[in-house]
Structure 1
Amino acid sequence: MTQTPSSPAEVQDSGLQTRAVAQARVQFVGTGPGDPGLLTLSAVTAINRASRIIIDSERLRALLQTPEIQLNAEAEIIEPDTPQDIIAALLDAAGHGLDVVRLVEGDPFLDGDIGAECSALAIADHDVDVVPGVSPLTAVPEYAGVSLHGHDVQLIGVESARRDLSSEGYPWAAEGLIVVSTIVDLVREVVAHALESGRGESEPAVITLHGGTTEQVSTTTTLGGLAAAVAKTDPAEPAYIVIGHVVAESSRARLDWYESKPLFGWSILIPRTRDHSATLPSRLQDYGARCLDVPTISMELPRTPQQMDKAIRGMVEGRYEWVVFTSANAVRAVREKLESIGLDSRAYSGLRIAAIFDSTVKALAEWGVRPDLVPEGTQSTAALAATFPAFDDALDPINRVFVPRADIATESLSAELSALGWEVEDIIGYRTVRAAPPPAETREAIRAGRFDAVVFTSSTTVRNLVGIAGKPHRHTVVAAIGQRTAETCEEHGLAVDVVAPEPTPTALADSLAAFAAARRDDLIAKGRPVIRPSQRKRRGRQPGH
């Protein structure tokens, strides 16, 4: 077991030197157009280290929920109301010596108006760092399938008709491509200024809303038809416009890689346990889906905690050679017991730690603990048993293994470790109980068929979701991680559309994407419109839905 130092004293004792901070430094971090996958490594690192994060929109708050972001446990997120409040918040954080990050949509200098903020920090003698981000002015056209390569391109930001399109404004290029970042309310002014600059009303144009997100909608039209294309859209909605003769419907269709993803725009429900891997939602998002996690299981103390108390004392007294964790919940159960008696992660000193699943390893890392044994490849109790060393009385001073587990977990791992010569103490560390029902709007969306698909990762999630929220609508595609989970779905009256060929989150996501792609191709072959399952008319369930 490797333990990472956490406190300054532990850092010094380990021979490392603490970093002296001469003065506060504020990092302006570009976040790109909205797709979390466009965050740079530097951006993720800065966000994860920050103790205070300043944002100015709910889109940025949502971005912080992406699995790649692992916020500091003490990180504070602040959303000031005005530009002056933002400056005040930055100065306050820097004045207290905090590690502060200011998130900016797009690129800080190209898309963000951060000049006043940087100047205020410079006057106060605070250092400023900038982490560039991908600009929507170039990214969104690519997401819409428009190639900018090989053309004269003019990038324009129109935030105010009065300031940017006044009589003092310069004419735009009469040829080549024009890319405009604006809001829907200013589309008519953009069109008028383009016409005044010599562009033709019949010139091809494409307008994109929600650019770079799984809600993206791109419409190919003409310069004269742009306003009509967004007539029913929120006037404050950001819009990205490309004007030019190379923007033809046929060429864009060939390059429309993003909106043609198999699960693009699908809303997918993931009933989950507390010990939920980020692999499944991340993989589904790669295919263009929007995911909503709904907890179905909660964790409680065992009904008779004496065995767990005895095992924790045994850890401290050197009773065990190994502690084996098969879930993040087991890590939390042991941690809570140790903290309740005033101990920290140093209680693991001298012990060897084995673990399966990324979520388990992450839960250990949050407490500064690094496992000695994690099986490669498939994460399962069988894989762990296959790589676990046999007891050797010449090498192992103690032959006992502590396995904290849930009350509903099987004891097969203990039997396999016993066969390797170990004396296993299999202890119930926590009970799993049904979670509280989700919000009323989520329950209604489940019953009304507003989710395109639901993915079940265990029989328990099937039983508990039906118990706390009711059965999904018959139009909702049902995907199961394995045959046993599929059987549980059918026992609860759910028709299963997708069964993963192997019980892994990646295989489940890939199988659902393959199903969606085949469904789309079938609809096209039949000359029918390609609509999502949630967009179907509320008729009976049809074959191949």
Structure 2
Amino acid sequence: MTKQGKVYLIGAGPGDPGLLSIKAMECLQTADAVVYDRLADPRILAYAKDDAEMVYVGKASANHTMRQPDINKLLVKLAAEGKTVARLKGGDPFVFGRGGEEAIELLEAGLPFEFVPGVTSAIAVAEYAGIPVTHRHVATSFAVITGHEDPTKGESTINWSGLATAVDTLVFLMGVENLTNITKNLIANGRSADTPAAVIRWGTKPEQRTLITTVGTAAADVAAANLKPPAIFIVGNVVKLREQLQWFDNKPLFGKTIVVTRARAQASTLTRQLEAAGARVIEAPAIKIIPPEDYTPLDKAIENIKTYKWLILTSANGVTSFFNRLDNAGLDSRSLSDIKIAAIGSETAKALKNYGISADLVPPAFKAEELAETLSAEVQVGDKILLARAKVAREVLPESLRALGASVDVVTAYETVTALDNKEELLTALQNGEVDLVTFTSSSTVTNLLTSLGDQRELINNIPAAAIGPVTAETCRQNNLEPDIIAETFTIAGLTDAIQRYYKE
């Protein structure tokens, strides 16, 4: 029996991926094909299945990758093939999203569809700028108007005479390029030229920019500020409330563009913390975690795990890799009941907690030298120690332990390799002078980023750098990069705090 295809017409929201609904996420997770617009954040697309067909049909002003009639036909084709289709549209499908047109075409083809509402930019963007579309004693009505009418209509069908003065707050979507005409019609139909107005570009995103103006000066002010789409235009006395209600662009890192070089699988934690503080983040993973070429040494050590007095794990990656191999051997944390476990750093200790284990020893400073010093009171001559870590790492820890008379087996649990898969995005931002800070969370992120940049590494020479701790900072110096920020607590949270203090000072 042929599978019945279906299209979910999904509102992806105004830009902030956190505003995506749970239902929209669930639809994406089950879709065979995803058809998405220009405004869909990559982190929203990450919810799609790995094998989902991804089709970009982005439309910018006067620059259409695929025209609407062709998008309609594409949706019909995919659904007719029996595929579950997630059609991602910026904002809400019914607020100038042309969702109705797509649904009618599907209906005429006898294909099922559902609408998944999205957060509309008409309200959310204003809200992120601290401008309520309604407010007691200020505005009791609002209207959402297209700023870009169908050019084939010949003449405007907007009731300017009724709209200009009958509604307190006016929100024009996609109207930046038509501001001269919009404001001219408003003034001609009775709206005062002195009425407060605002233009908000890339609303709800870290690169949001808000211009406060008036109806009479809006067109000239936008031209002078060189504000381009996507943006909304708000008219009404509610704009004055921004002085009191502004919040998003008050965040400590708002307006800063920060590069995160951590491995893609781990970058989200740092990204979330920086974005929560208002930063725009470019994830440029300089490293990728991969299995070692040969698991034999690690597997042999696990086979003889009972012979060790100490197991030392130096990173969360090491924890994950070690327990994966433990599981592969048909064992679990119970096999470590007679062994003491040391962890470098709170993140490593936290990763152990996921396996039901509390580290016996976590040094106060999260580096190898501190662990070696702390262990010196615990290790006796002849003790066997298993150190599971990355393939490339400093030798200070095993050398220090051997100097104490211990027998140390160093095994590779994982490797890090260069993996800058969005090099062009990073280079463009660097070349345009958009980057304010580059973060490094390990020595390998330093060396691998520089390797990836090659002969263009000079692009980061004069950009402030933040290191998660003194070891990473020293690697920066060895590569002629002087870190401006060194976290006092060698964790992601500590690094975020250090960055905020740097910009506050």
Q: Same fold (TM over 0.5)?
A: yes
| 1:410-449 aligned within 5 A | 427-434=411-418, 439=423, 442=426, 446=430
> How far has the Cα of 1:382 moved from its partner?
8.2
| 1:98-497 aligned within 5 A | 98-148=83-133, 149-150=135-136, 151=139, 152-160=141-149, 166=155, 168-170=157-159, 171-174=162-165, 176-231=168-223, 237-248=229-240, 251-273=241-263, 276-297=266-287, 305=294, 308-309=295-296, 348=328, 350-352=330-332, 378-381=346-349, 384=352, 387=357, 405-408=389-392, 427-434=411-418, 439=423, 442=426, 446=430, 450-469=434-453, 470=457, 473=460, 476-497=463-484
Confirm whether residue 29 of structure 1 aligns to residue 10 of structure 2.
yes
State the SS of the aligned residue for 1:211. coil
- From the superposition, tell whether residues 480 and 164 of structure 1 become closer, same or farther in structure 2 (CA, over 3 Å): farther
State the SS of the aligned residue for 2:476. helix
- 1:76 alignment counterpart: 53
- Asked if the contact 2:319–2:348 (Cα under 8 Å) also holds between the matched residues in 1, the reply is no
- 2:369 alignment counterpart: none
Tell me which protein shows more helix as a share of its residues.
2
- Asked if the contact 2:3–2:82 (Cα under 8 Å) also holds between the matched residues in 1, the reply is no
Read off the aligned partner of 1:515 and give its amino acid letter.
Y
**CA deviation map 1:216-260 (0-9, x unaligned):** 221111101111122267797233111123423xx4232221222
> How far has the Cα of 1:137 moved from its partner?
0.7
> How far has the Cα of 1:119 moved from its partner?
1.5
- From the superposition, tell whether residues 296 and 236 of structure 1 become closer, same or farther in structure 2 (CA, over 3 Å): closer
> How far has the Cα of 1:201 moved from its partner?
1.3
State the SS of the aligned residue for 2:118. coil
> How far has the Cα of 1:192 moved from its partner?
1.7
State the SS of the aligned residue for 1:218. strand
- From the superposition, tell whether residues 129 and 161 of structure 1 become closer, same or farther in structure 2 (CA, over 3 Å): closer
- Asked if the contact 2:31–2:52 (Cα under 8 Å) also holds between the matched residues in 1, the reply is yes
- Asked if the contact 1:448–1:473 (Cα under 8 Å) also holds between the matched residues in 2, the reply is no
> How far has the Cα of 1:464 moved from its partner?
3.5
Output the CA distance in 2 between the equivalents of 1:428 and 1:123: 60
> How far has the Cα of 1:213 moved from its partner?
1.9
- From the superposition, tell whether residues 164 and 142 of structure 1 become closer, same or farther in structure 2 (CA, over 3 Å): farther
- From the superposition, tell whether residues 327 and 88 of structure 1 become closer, same or farther in structure 2 (CA, over 3 Å): farther
Matched length: 443
Read off the aligned partner of 1:211 and give its amino acid letter.
G
- Asked if the contact 2:255–2:278 (Cα under 8 Å) also holds between the matched residues in 1, the reply is yes
- 2:379 alignment counterpart: none
Aligned partner of 2:20 among 31, 35, 39? 39
Read off the aligned partner of 1:478 and give its amino acid letter.
A
Output the CA distance in 1 between the equivalents of 2:53 and 2:487: 40
Q: Where in structure 1 are there 5+ consecutive unaligned residues? A: 1-19, 339-344, 355-374, 391-400, 415-423, 520-545
- From the superposition, tell whether residues 207 and 112 of structure 1 become closer, same or farther in structure 2 (CA, over 3 Å): same
State the SS of the aligned residue for 1:154. strand
Output the CA distance in 2 between the equivalents of 1:382 and 1:288: 26
Output the CA distance in 1 between the equivalents of 2:280 and 2:412: 36
Output the CA distance in 2 between the equivalents of 1:85 and 1:193: 34
- From the superposition, tell whether residues 154 and 172 of structure 1 become closer, same or farther in structure 2 (CA, over 3 Å): same
- Asked if the contact 1:27–1:46 (Cα under 8 Å) also holds between the matched residues in 2, the reply is yes
- Asked if the contact 1:165–1:189 (Cα under 8 Å) also holds between the matched residues in 2, the reply is no
Output the CA distance in 2 between the equivalents of 1:413 and 1:96: 59
Output the CA distance in 2 between the equivalents of 1:208 and 1:286: 20
> How far has the Cα of 1:154 moved from its partner?
2.0
- From the superposition, tell whether residues 295 and 110 of structure 1 become closer, same or farther in structure 2 (CA, over 3 Å): closer
**CA deviation map 1:364-394 (0-9, x unaligned):** xxxxxxxxxxx9x94315873892699xxxx
| TM-score in terms of structure 2 length | 0.73
Confirm whether residue 93 of structure 1 aligns to residue 78 of structure 2.
yes
Q: Which moved more, 1:323-332 or 1:76-85?
A: 323-332
Output the CA distance in 2 between the equivalents of 1:78 and 1:309: 43
Read off the aligned partner of 2:148 and give its amino acid letter.
E
> How far has the Cα of 1:202 moved from its partner?
1.7
**CA deviation map 1:495-531 (0-9, x unaligned):** 4333334222233223312332x24xxxxxxxxxxxx
Q: Equivalent pairs: percent with the same residue? A: 30
Read off the aligned partner of 2:42 and give its amino acid letter.
L
Aligned partner of 1:65 among 34, 39, 43? 43
RMSD of the alignment, in Å? 4.4
Output the CA distance in 1 between the equivalents of 2:231 and 2:290: 48
Read off the aligned partner of 1:380 and give its amino acid letter.
T
- Asked if the contact 2:316–2:348 (Cα under 8 Å) also holds between the matched residues in 1, the reply is no
> How far has the Cα of 1:196 moved from its partner?
2.8
State the SS of the aligned residue for 2:261. strand
Output the CA distance in 2 between the equivalents of 1:194 and 1:311: 74
- Asked if the contact 1:480–1:486 (Cα under 8 Å) also holds between the matched residues in 2, the reply is yes
Output the CA distance in 1 between the equivalents of 2:276 and 2:197: 28
- 2:404 alignment counterpart: none
- From the superposition, tell whether residues 54 and 471 of structure 1 become closer, same or farther in structure 2 (CA, over 3 Å): same
| 1:510-529 aligned within 5 A | 510-516=497-503, 518-519=504-505
State the SS of the aligned residue for 1:29. strand
Q: Where in structure 2 are there 5+ consecutive unaligned residues? A: 58-65, 335-342, 361-384, 399-407
State the SS of the aligned residue for 2:483. coil
